[in-house]
Amino acid sequence: MKSNIDSRYTFKNFVIGASNELACESAFACAKNPSNAHIPLLIYGSTGLGKTHLLHAIGNEILENDPEAIVCYVHSEQFVNDLINALKTAKIAEFKSQYQSVTALLIDDVQFFAGKERTQEEFCHTFNSLLECKQRVIITCDKFPKEVDGLESRLKSRLGWGLSVCIDPPDFKTRVAILQKKSVQQGFNLSDDVANIIAEKIKSNARELEGALNTLWTNASFMHVEISLDFTKKTLKELFNEDEIICNEVNIVFSHGKESGPWGSKITKMADYAKTICECKIHSLDYQDLNSPDERVERLVPKRLLL
């Protein structure tokens, strides 16, 4: 069975920070010294935070220590497609044999199984077989499985048998480190000023950071220029104009509410629109907080939005 392990993703080039330290340590322990405490290992968190990187890192580490190991990385969608093909061609026994004979099964984005009863049934059989043989099962999900609608209770229960660890969005320091490490990997150095300003603007995940970095590097290469602070602002102008655009929109909404008098009335009038245009992207404005009649809500909105 094809391993599908990507050699580019290792523990050595995974940037560790407070938001992912436990997940990385757990993944490394599972790869090095598997035990009942780590099997199965579930890593969950939003998209672009490094879950897939850790799956491949586990696979690479296992193969480095044991080249004869049968390690299989598979996205849950591929598992579904393999099962469908096996059912169509009457090769379900072969399907079972392939998936149940591996040393380590690395399943990515298990939330894709939601609503697919036959897939969940077959995965449970595979899961049980591997655990009975004391083989490794490592799974990722975009949220804690119990919060995923459409997953059967028996599968949710199985996914919680071992160790469950969460990856959160990276903090500022980790975002800067990600940018600097990725730039070195691509063969250029990123100044602290540029790394800091990008990290300040992109707060959600590492994938968006890498996308911004690739955009910078590509444009700088074509234009034969250095990646300066001014060049960064011009190249990523949509990113740097976002705050100004949202501020203007929110100011318009607040100005429409000025005739209403009290803070509670103003905020009630603009709450639905403000929720849409802000969506907590920049300043983490919460709809319930905006709708509160308490004047202390002013503290939740940056002063520049109220000028």
- Predicted confidence at residue 36, as pLDDT, reads 58
- Distance between CA atoms of 131 and 53, rounded to whole angstroms? 23
- Predicted confidence at residue 185, as pLDDT, reads 85
Band (35; pLDDT cuts 50, 70, 90): low
Whether the per-residue pLDDT at 92 is higher than 90: the answer is yes
Burial class from Cβ neighbours inside 10 Å (0-12, 13-18, 19+) for residue 264 reads middle
Band (141; pLDDT cuts 50, 70, 90): very high
Contact 16, 206 (CB under 8 A): no
- Distance between CA atoms of 228 and 162, rounded to whole angstroms? 47
Band (1; pLDDT cuts 50, 70, 90): confident
- Distance between CA atoms of 24 and 93, rounded to whole angstroms? 35
The sheet carrying 41-44 orders its strands as 71-75, 104-108, 136-141, 41-44, 163-166
- Predicted confidence at residue 205, as pLDDT, reads 84
What b/e string do you get for 194-213 counting C-beta neighbours within 10 Å, with b at 16 or more?
bbbbbbebbbebbebbbebb
- Predicted confidence at residue 62, as pLDDT, reads 94
Of residues 300 and 168, more confidently modeled:
168
Q: 112: helix, coil or strand?
A: helix
Task: From 10, 25, 21, 23, select the one nearest 51 (Cα to Cα).
Answer: 23
Residue 232 sits at the vertex; the CA angle it makes with 242 and 203, to the nearest 5 degrees, is 50
Contact 110, 140 (CB under 8 A): yes
Band (289; pLDDT cuts 50, 70, 90): very low
Structure tokens at 108: 């990515």
- Predicted confidence at residue 44, as pLDDT, reads 94
Residue 147 sits at the vertex; the CA angle it makes with 10 and 80, to the nearest 5 degrees, is 60
- Predicted confidence at residue 58, as pLDDT, reads 95
Band (241; pLDDT cuts 50, 70, 90): low
- Distance between CA atoms of 232 and 260, rounded to whole angstroms? 42
- Predicted confidence at residue 259, as pLDDT, reads 43
Residue range 241-263: average pLDDT? 48
How high does pLDDT run on average in the chain? 80
Whether the per-residue pLDDT at 276 is higher than 60: the answer is no
Whether the per-residue pLDDT at 25 is higher than 90: the answer is yes
**Omega of the bond leading into 40 within 30 degrees of 0 (cis):** yes
Q: What is the pLDDT of residues 184-199, one digit of tens each?
A: 888 888 889 999 989 9
Whether the per-residue pLDDT at 271 is higher than 90: the answer is no
Task: From 108, 87, 98, select the one nearest 43 (Cα to Cα).
Answer: 108
Beta bridge pairs of residue 108: 75
Beta bridge pairs of residue 74: 107
Q: What is the pLDDT of residues 38-78, one digit of tens each?
A: 778 999 999 889 999 999 999 999 999 999 999 999 999 99
